[in-house]
């Protein structure tokens, strides 16, 4: 993720690792250390480093970022207007995070004549506008044009405005579309962005993964032996009969090529993927057992003269702790 990459740490990094990474990079890229002609580069890099640290060092902000990304932070206003990298840096210094200090600055840096006293001027950015669009799977299949309305800050006023978004067929779930500089407009700030998140509405039968249409089919054990035919109503409205030859194992996958959804980039059709769940829970009577032995080959393994012990199906029993710490199995 972006903030973790900025600080060169993993998503599971501890707070100490995050602080050490920030210290190293902040010292390297502080604008006061910028060579001639590179002031803007150092200022931009220092801002990115400080922004990443500001989020990752705060457990609440970090949790929101891990779940929803930067747009989630903007929506919850966690970054706050007026974010200043120098404030983050000063707070870091005041907490003594650089270890041994001399007059508020790292001893080794003072020896090299490096000063942090310069001003760091960066233009603030107005907040982004987050728009979430929920698509039915049929809309994902065909593509659709959506008009969305929202409130936008322009100067000291809020205006009702709208935009029309052309969404191609095959829009991926959680697709992010960014319209740069079209967000809130506040004097003295860079314009914010419009961030559009496309999500798929839940469907009782299908879900879309990449450009494949996925469904699960529950069948009985007898059906799994013989195979089956069933009708499927596709998200495009067509009705088709699907034939599956037996035997079908629990968890088996069957594919019908080119019956998925179009790929949003090249319009290539995906596949219809069917996953089978076989209900194996049934009792075999003596009559059924005799039929099975007549029709199917049956193993006959070598036995010994030892005790006969019957194994237990764990799905039919629950474990309870006995008073003496042992395990007692009771039939549900």
Greatest CA span in the chain, whole angstroms? 95
- Look at the chain and count its residues: 332
pLDDT band at 116 (very low <50, low <70, confident <90, very high): very low
The whole-number average pLDDT for the span 279-308 is: 86
pLDDT at 99: 41
Residue 217 has pLDDT above 90, yes or no: yes
The two domains 2-122 and 206-279 share their CATH topology (first three levels equal):
no
Residues 6+ apart with CB under 8 A from 42: 29, 30, 31, 33, 34
Q: Would you list the domain boundaries of the chain?
A: 2-122, 129-200, 206-279
Helix, strand and coil percent figures for the chain, each rounded to 5: 30, 30, 40
Residue 221 has pLDDT above 70, yes or no: yes
Q: 206-279 architecture in CATH?
A: Sandwich (2.60)
The whole-model pTM stands at 0.55
pLDDT at 119: 46
Omega within 30 of 0 (cis) for the link into 274: no
Task: Dump pLDDT digits (tens) for 66-94.
Answer: 877 777 666 555 444 456 666 666 666 55
Q: Classify 273 in phi/psi space as left (phi over 0), alpha (psi -120 to 50) or beta.
A: beta
Residue 12 has pLDDT above 50, yes or no: yes
pLDDT at 90: 61
129-200 homologous superfamily = Urease metallochaperone UreE, N-terminal domain (2.60.260.20)
CATH code for residues 2-122: 1.10.287.110
pLDDT at 2: 85
Q: What is the DSSP letter of 256?
A: E
Provide the mean pLDDT of the chain. Answer: 81
CA angle 46, 44, 16 (to 5 degrees): 25
Cα 43 from Cα 51, distance rounded (Å): 12
């Amino acid at each position: 993720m972006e903030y973790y990459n900025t600080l060169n740490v993993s998503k599971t990094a501890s707070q100490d690792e995050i602080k050490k990474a920030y210290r190293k990079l902040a010292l390297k890229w502080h604008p006061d250390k910028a060579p001639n002609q590179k002031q803007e580069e150092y200022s931009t890099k220092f801002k990115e480093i400080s922004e990443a640290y500001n989020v990752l060092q705060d457990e609440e902000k970090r949790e929101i970022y891990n779940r929803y990304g930067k747009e989630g932070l903007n929506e919850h206003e966690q970054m706050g207007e007026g974010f200043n990298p120098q404030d983050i840096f000063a707070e870091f210094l005041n907490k003594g995070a650089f270890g041994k200090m001399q007059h508020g600055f790292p001893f080794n840096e003072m020896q090299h004549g490096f000063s942090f006293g310069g001003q760091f001027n960066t233009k603030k950015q107005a907040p982004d506008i987050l728009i979430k669009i929920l698509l039915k799977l049929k809309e994902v299949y065909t593509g659709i044009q959506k008009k969305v309305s929202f409130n936008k800050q322009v100067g000291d006023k809020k205006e009702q405005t709208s935009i029309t978004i052309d969404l191609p067929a095959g829009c991926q779930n959680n697709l992010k579309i960014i319209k740069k500089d079209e967000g809130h407009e506040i004097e003295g700030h860079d314009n914010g962005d419009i961030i559009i998140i496309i999500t798929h509405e839940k469907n009782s039968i299908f879900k879309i993964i990449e450009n494949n249409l996925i469904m699960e089919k529950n069948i009985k054990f007898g059906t799994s032996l013989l195979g089956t035919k069933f009708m499927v109503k596709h998200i495009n409205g067509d009705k088709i009969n699907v034939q599956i030859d037996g035997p079908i194992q629990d968890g088996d996958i069957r594919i019908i090529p080119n019956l998925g959804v179009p790929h949003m980039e090249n319009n290539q059709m995906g596949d219809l993927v069917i996953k089978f769940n076989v209900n194996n829970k049934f009792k075999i009577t003596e009559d059924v057992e005799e039929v099975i032995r007549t029709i199917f080959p049956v193993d006959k393994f070598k036995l010994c003269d030892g005790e006969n012990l019957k194994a237990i199906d764990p799905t039919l029993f629950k474990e309870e702790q006995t008073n003496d710490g042992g395990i007692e199995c009771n039939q549900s």
